[in-house]
Chain A
Amino acid sequence: MKNQKTYRFYFLVLILILIITFIISISLGTVPIPLREVIISLFGGEPLKSSWKFIIMDYRLPKAITAILAGGGLAVSGLLMQTLFRNPLAGPFVLGLSSGASLGVAMLILGAGLFGASFGGLLMGSWSLVIASAFGSFLVLLAVLSVSFKLKDTMTILIIGLMFGSVTAAVVSVLSYFSNAEQLQQFVFWSFGTLGNVSWDGILILFSCITIGLWISILAIKPLNALLLGENYAKSMGINLKLATFWIIVATSLLAGSITAFAGPIAFVGLAVPHLTRQFFNSSNHMVLLPAVFLSGAVLMLICDTVAQLPFIELTLPINAITSLLGAPVVIWLLVRKRKLFF
């Protein structure tokens, strides 16, 4: 175990990188704005052009904040899942959580066609998206977990998670088949994942959900650490396993569900970041890992977002594609280098 000082140094570096990537993410975009003007706008001053201030405050800043919240939150939810299932391959995406969230949103957007447009319009507020998405992921996680209590083999649980994913995907296609073009487009764009469409109101909702999710995770640090030894050991050390499991699930679905609702299903961050962080921090202690994973997730998402914007070109790529493009090679590299993925 490294001493407190080394960790503090790592955290300082991580926070510094976060600030740098945050500023880079805000300065780059389709409209070139000089760095000096960016910083002036951020601190409430007036830049040379008033349109710059508008671009930064109403578009780039909310996007960067969403990236931090989404990246950090997804990474933490991945960490929680890996510890809860004691499986290095667990993550919000692999276990069908994102598919569950997709199903919830699909029901809301596409199902609106089946129940009539006025009903759908009524439900289309941002809160309803969050609730539908969180509810969807909560249901899938509950289903996976109830199965996991019967089957002790974690590999089976993962396969079942994938099966749930397929089932929800199938339901989504059925729903798509019966929807009109406009609704379909709305859903497809949601499923590409985007960090840019979140308003300040939306950010407030996202921020609240993530704060609650993170607080529950912090309160669960002790049971999480105990679970590293296995369920029987955790119980023998005085952990109330059922209660702890319940709260870990609540935190995970709150984090993954709310993020998926606002930013769409974002792949790989939840799976890859906890592994990367474990490599750098060389620790399994959740007291260290939890903040480290959050920060690393935020940094990774900001980098992905910067890449997705394709600086100086007037195009933005879907964020989901970028995280997979960057995330998959990282996991492969880790596997090849370490030969075995520990969690």
Chain B
Amino acid sequence: MSNNYSNIIEVKDVSIGYSNKKDTFIVSKNINFSSKKSELISIVGTNGIGKSTLLKTLARIQPQKKGTILLNNKNFYDYSTLEIATQLSIVLTESPSSKNLTVKELVSLGRHPYTNWIGILTVIDEKIIEESLIDTDTLSLVNKKCSELSDGQLQRVMIARALVQDTPIILLDEPTTHLDIYHRAYILKLLKNLADKKKKTIIFSTHEIDLAIQVSHKMIVMTKEKTYFDKPEMLIKSGCFKNLFPSETIEFDNELKQFILKNNNVS
């Protein structure tokens, strides 16, 4: 098993993309990063740069195009679907297909890799479910239906479901979209907490670069030319955020650690 010092996930020279019958489209090349236990890693970059594709590749929803991914020092694709389900759980941008599910039902589904053929929950399952509901502050919502939840509540419930799956790694695709600034901060703090206290490795994509800099242990910055991976301070020092967006409209301020609107061409 992995101890605190070895890499839980290692991505080496991976190219990501998608393919149809005729062509293969490579979205991003030469991605390298690795993560240890209990780390919060954010993925940032412009729209369409491949953040979601990277996460979907890591979740094995999309096949990788090149390179190797090691999970606990074992090739990612040597795991069975069921084994992967006990290693990583996901929170996607798509909301659950059924809006009729109650929160309890939805969260319980996370126990699937562990339950028997018909999905009966044991006492242990119930305990894990309750813990996750408490950790995400959703215990009061258990009897509500998904259709009755606000975006922020639904996001917390989806995180609870991922927690219930009891995996060392959790992947989240833009968990802060559609949320107001308070709920964005709330979700990011929750993720940070889960990484610190529950020893989870959490990899998430976000557009909240300012907030991500504050909470993440490490960041993956995807640009057209290259994908950077380092601690936020190091990335700021290297000026990596400066080149993220066209500087005539918005610019990163290294001192303030945030983006500043350029008002020189507002007339």
Contact = CB atoms under 8 A, between A and B. Distances in A.
Interface stretch (B84-92, B206-214, B223-231, B239-247): B84-92
Interface in A218-242: 218-219, 221-222, 225-230, 232-233, 235-240
Contact of A228 (B84, B98, B115): B98
Contact of A342 (B85, B98, B109, B112): B98
Contacts of B117: 219, 222
Given A230-B96, A236-B89, A237-B165, A1 B105 contact: yes
Interface in A193-240: 218-219, 221-222, 225-230, 232-233, 235-240
Interface in A1-31: 1
Nearest to A342: B100
Contacts of B81: 235, 238-240
A323 B115 CA distance: 39
Contacts of A285: 105
Interface residues on B, range: 35 or more
Among B85, B101, B147, find the residue whose CB has the most chain A CB atoms closer than 10 A. Answer: B101
B143 interface: yes
A240 B60 CA distance: 13
Interface string B88-110: 11101010111111101110011
B109 A228 contact: yes
B98 A237 contact: no
Interface string A86-97: 100000000000
A287 interface: yes
Interface in A303-343: 340, 342-343
Contacts, number: 97
A156 B102 CA distance: 28
A141 B228 CA distance: 48
Interface string A265-297: 000000000000010001111010000000000
Contacts of A227: 97
Interface residues on A, range: 20 to 34
A322 B81 CA distance: 47
A222 B142 contact: no
Contacts of A228: 96-98, 101, 106, 109
Contacts of A343: 98, 100
Given A240-B81, A284-B100, A235 B94 contact: no
Nearest to A285: B105
Nearest to B111: A237
B231 to A, nearest CB: 29
Contacts of A340: 147
B123 interface: no
Given A222-B115, A287-B119, A342-B147, A236 B90 contact: yes
A239 B96 CA distance: 16
Nearest to A88: B100
B98 to A, nearest CB: 4
Contacts of A221: 118-119
B90 A232 contact: yes
B59 interface: yes
Interface of B: 56, 59-61, 81-86, 88-90, 92, 94, 96-102, 104-106, 109-110, 112-113, 115, 117-119, 142-143, 145, 147, 165
25 contacts: A1-B102, A221-B119, A228-B97, A228-B98, A230-B94, A230-B96, A232-B90, A233-B92, A233-B109, A236-B59, A236-B84, A237-B109, A237-B165, A238-B83, A238-B113, A239-B81, A240-B81, A278-B100, A282-B102, A283-B102, A284-B102, A342-B99, A342-B100, A343-B98, A343-B100
The 10 closest A-B CB pairs, nearest first, are A238-B85, A238-B82, A86-B97, A342-B100, A228-B98, A237-B112, A1-B104, A238-B113, A230-B97, A229-B96
